[in-house]
Amino acid sequence: MIWGVRAVAALFLIYLCLPVLLLLIGAFGQTWTNTVLPTGVTGHWFADLAGDPSFRRAFSTSLIVALSCCAMTALIGLPLAYSLHHRSRSGRGAIARLVTLLPVAVPALTLGFGYIAVFSGDTLPWLGSLWLLVLAHAVLTLPYLTQTLLADLRHLDIARLEDCAATLGASPLRQFLTIAVPNLTHSLVAGLVMVAALSIGEFQISNLIAGFHYRNYPVVLLQAFYGATGFACAATVVLLVLALAATGMSIVAASRQKVSS
């Protein structure tokens, strides 16, 4: 039984790591055409990537969208999670929580086609704009931040502190700002790092609604695979490094949260 579990785990690890390993090899390969592995060794793909204006513009767009998405989800997610937590304590938050999870349940392509239908007409001709891309990413990533904050709120015993503050005359808004927000700092940071990682790697909706001037990194990356394979592998490695860095930051933030609690 134990050997069977280990064999399944080993096969899954190979299945997970083999494509990444091939991308790393391809990023430093000279040529890769109709062969199992590339031939030759070179590092000029990364230099070409740094000098490509379309990738620099796409990287800037992804960074702007991710940071804007973090700001928007933080402003919405904190009060939303706080409200859902209090509603769940009174048994009235089931429908509201279901609504907040809809962006996760509904396929991204469905949301993308919905954006096209709504924002491509003469009434709202905003398809391809930067702010619509930010809004779409915020809608997709908000449930992840909200669930992270809700998990922390369920773990923290802030009801007692709020009751004490209420007896001293603190309003609900003051209780939220002085009790809930400071106690949610670590989970907020961890959640926002996850939001940034999801935003940087998001492709499906971005490919449908992004205009030519505001294509993000994954959209430009897909187009690169129709050209030089080594160039595309190098671009994918950059995206992979960003995702791993964001994941590492999220793990560190979560670890600090556990230590502090």
Asked whether residue 65 is assigned to any structural domain, the reply reads yes
Q: Rounded to an integer, what distance in angstroms lies between the CA atom of residue 229 and that of residue 233?
A: 6
Distance CA 166, CA 183 (A): 17
Give the per-residue pLDDT at 73: 95
Residue type, 102: L
pTM metric for this prediction: 0.82
Collapsing DSSP states into helix, strand and coil, what is residue 8?
helix
Quick one: which of 180, 212, 194 has its CA closest to 79?
180
Residues 224 and 218: their CA atoms lie apart, in Å, by: 10
Place of tokens 């960074």: 63
**Encoded tokens for 1:** 């039984």
> Would residue 15 count as lying in a domain?
no
| Interatomic CA distance for residues 201 and 22, integer angstroms | 19
Structure tokens at 8: 């399944």
Q: Over the Cα atoms of the chain, what is R_g? A: 22
Q: How many domains does the chain have?
A: 1
Flag whether 13 is in a domain.
Answer: no
Residue 258, pLDDT score:
54
Distance CA 213, CA 24 (A): 29
Give the domain CATH number at 200: 1.10.3720.10
Name 53's Cβ contacts closer than 8 Å, sequence gap at least 6: none
- Determine the 3-state secondary structure of 169 from DSSP: coil
The pLDDT score that the predictor gives to residue 190 is 85
Is 31 within a domain?
A: no
Domain that holds residue 66: 53-258
- Tell me what pLDDT residue 77 has: 92
Residue 253, both tokens: 């933030």
Tell me if 114 is assigned to some domain. Answer: yes
Q: Where are the alpha helices (DSSP H) in the chain?
A: 2-27, 44-51, 53-89, 94-100, 102-105, 108-119, 130-155, 158-167, 172-175, 181-183, 185-201, 204-209, 217-224, 229-260
Is there a domain that residue 165 lies in? yes
> Is 4 part of a structural domain of the chain?
no
Query: Is 6 part of a structural domain of the chain?
Result: no
Rounded CA separation 180/175 (Å): 7
The list of the chain residues with pLDDT below 70 reads 1, 88-97, 99, 227-228, 250, 253-261
3-state SS class at 29? strand
